[in-house]
Amino acid sequence: MRIVSTLKELAQLLSECTKNKSLGLIPTMGALHTGHIALVKKAIDENDLSICSIFVNPTQFNNPSDLEKYPNPLEKDLLLLEQAGCDFVFAPTKEEVYPEGYVSKDFVFGTLDKGMEGANRPGHFKGVAMVVSRLFELIKPQKAYFGEKDFQQLAIIQSMVKQAPFPVEIVPCSIVREASGLAMSSRNMRLNKLQLTAAPRVYQRLFKASKMCSSHSIFEIKTWLKNEFKNDVDLDLEYFEISNPTTLQATTNWSECDRHIACIAVFAGEIRLIDNIMLEIN
């Protein structure tokens, strides 16, 4: 596994190794877990070569404290990637990704960035688009792999690729969960024992909500779930929304579209967890 950290090294690596070969990119912010490794293995299976980027992108953090506390176990990450069979790692500094004078292209996302994460984390998706577009410019992969846990982010990136346009296929990858149902996340590393016990209730309630669709209205489900968290001393609900999975606009009636996506954000102490589940209406 070859590791590069500068644009010069990256350009040399790509010119030496990727001619006439397909390249799959897995963009990450490090603190890798089994969910990330599933993306890496999918990229390995579907491409001649795989490259994982590790960069804690400052432009997508609206909370400076969250950025400061984000875990950064680089040596452990590199070992996991090597064991998984990843070919290359790009682990740059902020100065390499955003050199002096760099200007990012502006994108317009319509309804996709207005609710949920967009409403609660101002500037977040602008930062996501900035770093992902930059990685696509530098690495020029044929495919890029993103987890469906960040469903709104995935929709943003798919829209960005069409607008640019970038000649890259975005490959959505299913959520990987702990045995408890908790969606795997780098932020889980910061949960204490009490929070680790409480956090699985996020998915448990999402799953129950998905089973209530045939007999309850959207309003009834949202009311039930909000009451569940209102009575939960360990978890604080930030938002719960049921939306059209294409436009991400909130829906109020099951007849508005064939499928709906239920998205949630919850605080366990100061640690913010997100999750989602697709709602199939029979």
On the question of pLDDT at 40 being above 70, the answer is yes
Confidence band for 62, pLDDT divided at 50, 70 and 90: confident
On the question of pLDDT at 282 being above 70, the answer is no
Give tens-digit pLDDT for 205-241. Answer: 999 999 999 999 999 999 999 999 999 999 999 999 9
Give tens-digit pLDDT for 63-77. Answer: 888 899 898 899 999
Domain ranges of the chain: 2-173, 186-273
Question: What does the DSSP assignment read for the chain?
Answer: -EEE-SHHHHHHHHHHH-TTS-EEEEEE-S---HHHHHHHHHHHHHSSEEEEEE---GGG-S-HHHHHHS---HHHHHHHHHHHT--EEE---HHHHS-TT--PPP---TTTTTSTHHHHSTTHHHHHHHHHHHHHHHH--SEEEEEGGGHHHHHHHHHHHHHTT-S-EEEEEPPPB-TTSPBP-GGGGG--HHHHHHTTHHHHHHHHHHHTTTTS-HHHHHHHHHHHHHT-SS-EEEEEEEE-TTT--B-SSGGG-SEEEEEEEEEETTEEEEEEEEEE--
Query: Which residues are known to be catalytic?
Result: 36
Output the pLDDT for position 280.
Answer: 85
- Domain 2-173 CATH assignment equals 3.40.50.620: yes
Same topology between domain 2-173 and domain 186-273: no
pTM listed for this prediction: 0.95
Confidence band for 33, pLDDT divided at 50, 70 and 90: very high
Which whole number is the average pLDDT over 262-272?
97
For 186-273, CATH number out of 2.60.40.150, 1.10.260.40, 3.40.50.920, 3.30.1300.10 equals 3.30.1300.10
